[in-house]
Structure formats: structure tokens, C-alpha cells
Structure 1
Amino acid sequence: MPLFINRDQIFAHQVHLLEHKLRSKEERILELETENALLHLRLAECMGKLRRDQEVEILAKRRCQLQTNVQKRTRSALAELLSEVQALKQDLRDVFALYVSFATDLENQSKQLLEQVASTAVQVFQGDGIQNLKDQMSALERSLQEEKERCRIERTRRRVLHNTLVELRGNIRVHCRVRPILPFDCSHSPSRNGSSSPEVVVQAFSDDCVLVNCTKPGSPVTNKMFEFERVHGPEDSQDAVFEEVKPLLTSLLDGYNVCIMAYGQTGSGKTYTMIGSQPEDSADPKDNSQQGIIPKATNELFNLISEKPAESHTVEVSVVEVYNNELLDLLAKDEEGASVGVKREVITTSTGTSEVPCLTHELVESCAEVMQLISAALRLRAHSPTLVHRDSSRSHLIVTLTVSSKSANALALARRLQNVRQDVQRGSKREWWSPRCRRAASSRSSSPASSPYPSPCQSPCPSPRPSISQTPIRTKLQLVDLAGSECVGMSGVSGAALWESSCINRSLSALSDVLGALAEQRPHVPYRNSKLTHLLQDSIGGDAKLLVMLCVSPTQYFLTESLQSLGFGSRARQIQREPPRRKNTGIKIK
């Protein structure tokens, strides 16, 4: 029986198969399109990453080129500065060699003079040679005058070279002094091996480097090196310390404000460095070798003034302390004449300088008078015992020597011009300098009561310089003995003394902030955050010359405080300011 084939079913089955294949093909197409989109996204990401890598590579190349150019410019600038410093050093060596040659020539001439005097004495005793002796004496006097003139010229050249060298070194100089081991160190810091001698971890490595051993027990050896302009070891005397400070006094008389401050913890030798041994602590009260910077600088200042014309310089002294952020005048006296500490305030004048109204200034003429006033003020200074030192200073002491100077040449010029003006006012007849004044004089001459030559006071065009006055140049030498910079835990104070330590640390932090602002060249320097920095504004900023004397202890017990002081000095050395400008020494014309 033949099979019956339904074509419709076959066609429907084929259509169903074809539709199934079509759906599978469409799904495959969707998969491929999705995969294609993902591949496009990955391609875009790769291209973006490639572009970013290329941009980063280009920026890195440009940055390297900029760094290379900056390094080249820096090296060239440093090379030029080094060459200038070497040239200045060579000039100084030449000047010193010239001085040595002068001394040798004078010594040889003195020997020749003695020989000639001896020979001429024999001739005089024999009855002849008196005229030859007079001729030789006149020749020697002329030679002496020539040598004095040459010496004056070289002294002027030395002063110019000195100021240039100080400016190249920087206005803010930092010296460090490592004190010797003292008896109280043995009780504070026994050594690690159990011996009675404390361990020394801070030492003067060279003339300009301090080496600090920061090794901890069980750790590898760790040393830190701090570099300063000058480093004094325990063996250096007070005279050696002052010899490095002495050149600043020349700058004081050249018209610059100068400040010398001692910074460090209690017991590190600040007061000894600045003032020296007290008379009761010294075996010989007349021993000048134990004097500090303040008496030596005062004595040197009066020695330099003695070489100037008479009455051309005057010196005034003031002594204040900053205690609990209050300014106390230690030279003020009560009704009975006894010295008492009177509270003062610091203000900023219209010219931008700091000033203390009603502050006591004593006119002095010798170093002995200055030290007598300072000794009386030290009896009023705040002291109290701490765990570090039995007689710790709890305030900042500031001794200010104000030098008022007048130029002799300017005074002579002022007198001459004043005499000329007086002659004109007395009616000396001369034609006036201005055509307008001549016309006014001719118009007045038509009146019978008028003089043909009117006086300058009656002229419609008076002299542009009717009077001349000489304003003194005032420069300040501020000598500062700061209070101890140790932390409260180290000093072990409590009660009212805790507030003292807090005020000390806040004022020292304000000093550090001021130096940091100067180092970063910020537009605003926070001088007014503390009475200390406000008072020292003229000596820290501007064109003043500042020297910071870091005093550190050598033992392990005070290592943390020593590192803090050395870090403060390193930050102070980073300050770069504009070259100092000398104060105007000309006369003022009214």
C-alpha cells in the first residue's frame, strides 16, 4: 500500500527548520556584534592608555630637560659665586700680606733709625752732623706720613672687602658652641657601661661641622652631621669665640643694625657665653679671659669709637627682659632711686620699626658703666631652680646699645652752608639766581621804599634750601640671652613655674615661626605673635645682621634637646634675604 506523503507537513517542517537556523544565525550575529563592540572598547582603552603613556613620557622628558637646565644654571651661578668668594679671599690675603709687609718695613726702618741715631749720636758728641740729623728726621717724618696715608687707604679697602664678604656669606650667621662636661652631668647622665663619666654624643667634628651620635642600644651606628659657619669645641676659650663675633661691630659703625643671640637649653652655656663668669664665681675679678660676648663687644665698640673724631658718636644702653610674655624695663627706678622692673609695651612706628615708649636709656661713655648697669639689672632678672640647673634663667634678657653717629664732613658742610645763608640774610648785595626773582626785584625797585636788592626772606622765590640740619644716624646692637629651650618634662617644673615654661616655649616657637617665614620668603612675617620677636623686629628682619650662637650639651642625657637646638640653627641658615642696604649717611636738607 503506497505511503501517503503530506507535502504541507514537509513544507512546514522545512520552514520550521529554516526559521530555527535563521534565529540561530541572528543570535550568532548579535554575539559577534557584542564581541565587536567589546573589542572596539578595548581598542579605545588601549589607544587612550598609549596616548597617556606618550604624554607622560613627553612630560618626563621635558621635566628632565628643565631640571637639567636648572642644574646647569645653578652650577654656573654657584661657580660664579665661588669665584667671587675666592677672589675676595685672595684680596683679603693680599691685604693681610700688605699689612705684614708694612709691619716688616716699619720694623726695618726702626732698626735703621736706631742705627742712624747711634751713629749720629757719635757724630754729635764729636761736634758735627746736627744738620744731617735734622734732615734725616724730616725725611723720616715724611715717610711716616706716607705710610699712615697708605695704611688709611688699606683700612678703607679692608672695610669694603669685609662688608662684601659678610654679605656673600649671608646676613644671618649661625655659630655653634659645644660646652665641656660639667660636674652636674655626672649625676644626670651616667654612661652605658656603668662608669661615672657620662657618654659624649655631641662633638665638634671640624671648624664648621658638628657630629652627633644618634645610635640607640641594639641598633646600627647612626650619626648626623650639622654644618654651620663656625663651630667651637669645649677647648675654645671666650677670646676665641669673640674673635668670630668681632667683625660684626665694624658693620655696626658702618650703619647696620646687629643682633647676637644665644640659643639653647638650660645649662648649655648661654649666659656664660654672653656674659661670662660672675665676679663671685671667678678667682680673679680682673680676669678678662672669662668675660663673655657682651662685655667684650662693649669694650671693642668703645675702642672703635675712640678712633673716630671726638663727639661724633654717642652710646645709650637699655636692658629689658621678656618674662611671661611681658616686657619689663630693668633700668627703671622708683621714687627712692632703686631699680625696679616696670612693664612696657612694644609698638610699631609709621616707618615700620619697633619702639618701646618710655623705655629707660642711659647715656654711657665706657664699658665699665655699661657693665655696672647690666650687673644691677641682672639682680632683677627672673631665676628659679629646675631639674636641669640649680639657677635657671626664666626670662629672655635683651641688652640694647644704641649708637648715634654724625659725619664730621657733613657737619662741616652744614656749617659752611649755614654761614652762607646768614651772610645773605644780613643783606650782602648779590644778584639773585632766578630770572623770576630778578623781575620781582626790578618791579619792587620802582617803589622808593624798596631796596634794589631785596633779601631772600622778602623775595617771592625764596631759596630752595633755607635751613640745613644734621640728623644722627641711629644703629642698634642687641645682645640677647634667651631662656632655656628644653621641654617641660626635662625641666620638671610644676605650678606657677609651669606657666613660665609655657611662655618661654611659646616665645621661642614664635621666634622659630619668624625665621621660617623669612626662610620661605612669605609676604607676612608674624613678628607680633610674641613680645620677643616684636622687640627684635629691627634686628631680625630688613637689612640687619643677625648671629645666632647655638649652645649645646655634649652628653647623651641632653641628646633630644641638643638635636632640637641644632635643627633650629639649620633652619635659620636657610634664610636668604636681599643684600643689605647701608643706612643713609647724608645730611638732611629742609
Structure 2
Amino acid sequence: MRPRSGISPSFVSEQRIRQLEQKLRAKEERIIVLETENALLHLKLAECQGMTGKSSTKELPNSFVNCKLHHLHGSARLTVIQLYEAIQRLKQDMRNLCLSALEFSKDFQNESRNSHYQILAAVQRLQLHKEAIQTFQIKALELEQSLHDVSERYQKEKEKRKILHNSLVELRGNIRVHCRIRPLLPFDAAPGELVLENRQRSLSEKVVCAADEETILVKCNRPGHALINKTVQFERVYSAVETQETVFADVSPLLTSLLDGYNVCIMAYGQTGSGKTYTMLGPQREDNFAFSLKDAPELGIIPRAAEEVFRLISEKPPGSHWIEVSVVEVYNNDVFDLLAKDNYGTTTGVKRDIITNKEGKSDIPLLVYEPVEDAVEFLELVNKGLQLRVKHPTLVHAHSSRSHLVVTLNITIMAVLEDGFGGGSSQKLNKEYFFNYPHTVKDDTPTFPSGTISPALLLTESTEKLKQMRTKLQLVDLAGSECVGMSGVTGAVLRETSFINRSLSALADVLGAISERRSHVPYRNSKLTHLLQDSIGGDAKLLLVLCVSPSQKYITESLQTLGFGTRARQIQRGQAKKRNQPGLSKSK
């Protein structure tokens, strides 16, 4: 095992011992040199004694000899003393070195023993880790195989879910009619009821209410006639206490069908002040119609639908889906593009014409489609359009919309499929290779800008085919029908009311002609019906939300709205068609 410091204790001990051995050898050499010098000095001393004839000096006391030597040979004696002291110091150093070497040897042995134990423990741990890694590798292989199996089952179940989901929606009907009853409001009181007690009594009388989730009850009480309770059946009936979230819960399944390849249209119909705009957009502010995601509990179908669509797209491969948005209004039987801009970049409503293309579908040439990346950008565009929407106050509603609003989301899906069928993995395709903004897609076929790369060249396998699918979500907030006498409008607003009522009447005529299976359906009697031709009589899944007031004051308008919904339920159409459109392909 490698020590934390990066240098093993045994290595340090060996280095220290080498240093001590080198010092010891140096001391030993020094001792030999000194002993040699000592012997030479003894020889010289003997020669001196012989020359003086006093060879018996060795038998005399040391003090006498020392005295003589000091007296006769001071320099020689000093040298001997120095040599003796040096030898003593060297001997002491030798003893110290031996003790140090002995201590280092013991330390070295202890460190070696500890290092040996640590190495053995590290080897054991390494072996355990190796075995654990092998176990994890086996488990990882098993998990990968399990994940592969689960992914295959998930894809199969996903395809089954799509089939079952769309079958369920089709069993419920490609035209579904829901009815929502708004709460009683102060302006529901009959004209002239100024007494508080009478007003409270009037507000407490509800002549339209929900009997259950599929039945609406209308109390027809006319002067001089007996009370008649009339019931009408719809696919779903919402009482006055049910929230925006509850309403949208029945809308969201249609959005799943949208990404599965089906066109969807959601439309709100009812008299002025019955809650259509609240249902489709949310609460109206005093200054404008702007709304944001901060108003989450009160948001209507349009902003909630945008959030849900982008949530569903986020689960798809990146770059395989993108959305373009258009906002138009039908005002006085003319179509206006609310996203068109002038030469200065200011958004302004521009009048557009509706045509019928070669496939027999309605189209608006030069209509602006803005690309959006998320729900926030979508809401910003819708808010811009709402600022231009025509609205005037009436006696029935202070912020009455005087036009039909149509918000359209065009969803383009590009996928690369093996052999042109399912089973191939989606590739990320850059929309700049397929579309050149502003809108250049006509008849669901992309027009490629000059100089761009052909999509066929982007395919890496010769067996892969490019599949294009375009679906459309239309969100419609119709203007409200109203009685001229009750609304009290005059002048230009009276003309607006006339156009609104005529367009709604034309819509009812179209529904009647379709339900009666007439050979001719009068779509072109109104710009509204011409614009919604693909949704009403085409292959789109249509959800019609009826909005009614519970008040006796508007009983006539409520009955007319319920009659309109009843006629819509009688329409029999074929199954909605999935919009699978092959694009460019590359094959051998």
C-alpha cells in the first residue's frame, strides 16, 4: 500500500543507516590515522629517552615523568595529550554512533514489520475490491440486459397506449360537446330590480344547473304556463363550482392525440358574458387581456394547452418537434392577422383572404407563423394578438369581445425511420434545413431555400427514410351571440353585433347541413365557417365547450346555446385521420 506521504518508512530508514555507516567508516579511518600518528610519536619519544640515557623513566611515577617531559619535551607531550583526547572523543563518537545505529536498526525493523502488515492488508483489500468490481460488472451487465428488455417492452406498450388512447377518444366521438355553467353574477338580475331583497331573490334562482356530470337541467318557467323541466345530455357537464383545472383535465387527452398525428380543435361557444373567454384564456384584467403563467390557478384552456404540448414535446428526442403559432381574428366577416408587422416592426392587424387550396382545404396566404420554443414565448405572442383584438363594452358585458379569436399551433414532426416504418431511432434534425422563416411550408410540403442542404443528404444509412408529419391545434374563442335589445348597442357596435350573429348563424347552418348529410355544406357563407372548415367538417377531433348562464334573465340565449350543442352532437363523421406524410427518402 502506498503511504499517504508518497515515501515509504523503510526507504527513509535505509537512507539514514547508509548515512550513519558512511560516518562510521570516516571515524574508523580517522582513528587509524591517529593511532598511526600515536605510534610514530611513541617511537620518537623512545628515541629521545635513549639519547638522554633515561630509559628507566617508565618505572618512575607518572607525575615525575610528566614533569620531566614537560620540562624537557613540552611540544611532544602536548601533541600526545591532544592525540589522546582526540582518541577519546572518537571512541565516544563511536559509542554514540553504535547506539544510534542500533536504534535506527530497531526502528527500521519495526517500520518494515508495519509496512509488511500494511502491504498485506492492502493486498487483501485490493483483492476484495477486485472481487466487488467483478460482482458489480456482472450486475451491470444484468441491469443493461434488463434495461434493454424493459425498453423494448416500453416501446411496445407505448405503441399499444397510443392505439388504445386514440381508440378511446374515437369511441367517445370525434366531435365531443361539453357544457359549462358559470356562477350567478350581479348583472344577472332582471332590469329594474333595484331593491336589495328582490336582487338577492333573483340571484338565488338558478334556472340552468347540472343534474349530474352528463346532464344539464333547464327550468322553463313562462308566465301563464306550467313549469317544465328540460334535460339535455352532453359528454360532460361542469357545474358553477368546478375549476379551470377540472375543465382542462378533460381536454388534455386530446393533446396527446395531437402528437400522435391527429388534428385537434377546441372551441368555446355561448352568449356574451357566459364565460367563454374565461374558459379559453382566463380572467380578464381591467386594462387589457394580457395574462401570464403566474395566474396559474385561473389560467384557461389556451395557456394550459400550450404548457401541456411543450411538456409532451420535452419527452421526445431533441430537435424532432417544433411549433409555429398564428393568431387571427374574424371581425365583421373579415380575417385579420394579429401577428403581422409593419415596416417598423410594430405588430398590427393586417387583413387576409381565405382560399381553398387544391386539396379542398382552407388556407390563408401570407399568414404569419411565428416559431416558439416554449410556453412563455407562446403566451407572449398570444398577448400581443389580444392587445389588437376588437372589444367594446355593452350592457351585458363590460369587456365584450367583438371578434372570433383563432389561435393555431402548427406542430412539425421530423423523424428518421428504418425502412420507412417504426423501429428506427429518431435523429435530431435542424429545422433550418427544412424551413425558411417566414412561413414557407405549403400543402404540408417543405420548400427548401436555395443553397441549403437537402434533407436526403443528412441520412447516414441508405436504408433510412425521412418521415414528416404536420398536425394542427386550433383554439377558438368565439364572439358571443346577443340580443340587440338587451345589449343596448347602437352605431358601429350594432353593426358588429349583426356580423357576429350572422357568422354564428352560418356556423349553425353548417352543423345542420352536416348532421342532415346534405350534398352541399355552406362553408363559404361566412369567413368564420370557411376558416374552420377543416375542423368542423374535416378529419380533426373537435371539442365544443358550451358556456351558459344560470340566470332566468338569459334563458332564451341559454336554450339557443344548448340547441346548438345538440345539433353538433348529431354530426356523424368518419374516424379522424392520422396525418402521416412521407417526406424525402434515400434508398439503394
Both structures adopt the same fold (TM-score exceeding 0.5): yes
Instruction: Decide which of 283, 300, 308 is 2:308's aligned counterpart.
Output: 300
Of 378, 394, 399, the residue aligned with 2:407 is 399
Answering whether residue 178 of structure 2 is matched by residue 175 of structure 1, we say yes
2: CA distance, partners of 1:322 / 1:287:
27
Partners of 2:291 and 2:404 lie apart in 1 by 28
Counterpart of 1:239 (choices 240, 245, 248) is 245
In the TM superposition, 1:338-357 aligns within 5 A as 338-357=346-365
Give 3-state SS (helix, strand or coil) of 1:196's partner.
helix
SS, match of residue 250 in structure 2: helix
* Cα distance in 2 between the residues matched to 1:130 and 1:544: 57
- 1:298 CA displacement: 1.0
Residues 220/193 of structure 1: CA separation in 2 closer, same or farther (3 Å cut): farther
The residue type paired with residue 357 of structure 1 is P
Query: What is the SS of the residue equivalent to 1:234?
Result: coil
> In angstroms, what is the RMSD of aligned CA positions?
3.1
Identity of aligned residues (%): 57
Structure 2 unpaired stretches of 5+: 1-124, 425-461
Mapped partners of 2:581, 2:352: distance in 1: 31
Structure 1 stretches lacking a partner, 5+ long: 1-122, 417-465
Partner of residue 508 from structure 1, selected from 504, 507, 511: 504
Task: Kindly provide the CA deviation profile for residues 52-81 of structure 1, in whole angstroms up to 9, marking residues without a partner as x.
Answer: xxxxxxxxxxxxxxxxxxxxxxxxxxxxxx
| Contact residue 399 and residue 480 of structure 1 kept, 8 A | yes
- In 1, distance between residues paired with 2:505 and 2:536? 15
- Do residues 185 (structure 1) and 181 (structure 2) align? no
Give the structure 2 partner of residue 262 of structure 1: 268
Alignment partners' CA distance in 1, 2:512 and 2:199: 42
Structure-1 residue corresponding to 2:548: 552
Can you list the C-alpha shifts for 1:207-234, whole angstroms capped at 9, x where unaligned? 1110011123453331010100111111
Maintained 8 Å contact 1:202/1:210? yes
Q: Matches of 2:148 and 2:249 in 1, distance apart? A: 30
Note the alpha carbon deviations across 1:465-484, whole angstroms, 9 max, x for none.
x9998573222111000001
Partner of 1:489: 485
Question: What is the CA–CA distance in structure 1 between the aligned matches of 2:564 and 2:418, rounded to whole Å?
Answer: 44
Q: CA deviation at 1:538?
A: 1.2
Distance of 1:332 and 1:303 partners within structure 2: 28
C-alpha contact (below 8 Å) 1:324/1:503 kept by paired residues: yes
Kindly provide the CA deviation profile for residues 366-422 of structure 1, in whole angstroms up to 9, marking residues without a partner as x. 111111011011111001011101110000000011111123216989xx9xxxxxx
SS in 2 for 1:474: strand
On the 8 A contact 1:309/1:408 being kept in 2, the answer is no
| C-alpha contact (below 8 Å) 2:283/2:299 kept by paired residues | yes
Summarize the alignment of residues 71-470 of structure 1 with structure 2, pairs less than 5 Å apart: 131-132=134-135, 135-136=138-139, 138-186=141-189, 194-197=198-201, 198=203, 199-278=205-284, 286-409=294-417, 470=466
For 2:258 and 2:331, the matched residues in 1 are separated by: 28
Aligned with 1:379: secondary structure? Answer: helix
Preserved CA contact (<8 Å) 2:302 2:475:
yes
Q: Which moved more, 1:277-286 or 1:214-223?
A: 277-286
What residue identity is the alignment partner of 1:152? Q
The residue type paired with residue 578 of structure 1 is G
Matched length: 417
Does 1:526 find its partner at 2:522? yes
Structure with the greater alpha carbon radius of gyration: 2
Measure, in 2, the Cα distance between the counterparts of 1:493 and 1:379.
22
Q: Is the 8 A contact 2:420 2:464 kept in 1?
A: no
Gap change, CA 1:582 and 1:132, over 3 Å in 2 = same
Letter in 2 for 1:400: T
Q: 2:532 aligns with which of 530, 536, 544?
A: 536
For 1:562, which of 554, 558, 562 is the aligned residue?
558
Q: 1:285 to 1:582 in 2, by over 3 A?
A: closer
TM value normalised by structure 1: 0.65
Amino acid at match of 1:505: N
The Cα shift of 1:153 comes to 2.3
| Cα distance change of structure 1 residues 589 and 282 upon mapping to structure 2, 3 Å threshold | closer
Deviation at 1:155, TM superposition (A): 2.4
Q: How far off its partner does 1:589 sit?
A: 6.3
CA distance in 2, matches of 1:229, 1:473: 30
Structure 1 counterpart SS, 2:578: coil
Give the Cα–Cα distance (whole angstroms) in 1 for the partners of residues 487 and 145 of structure 2: 67
Distance in 1, matches of 2:405 and 2:360, equals 23
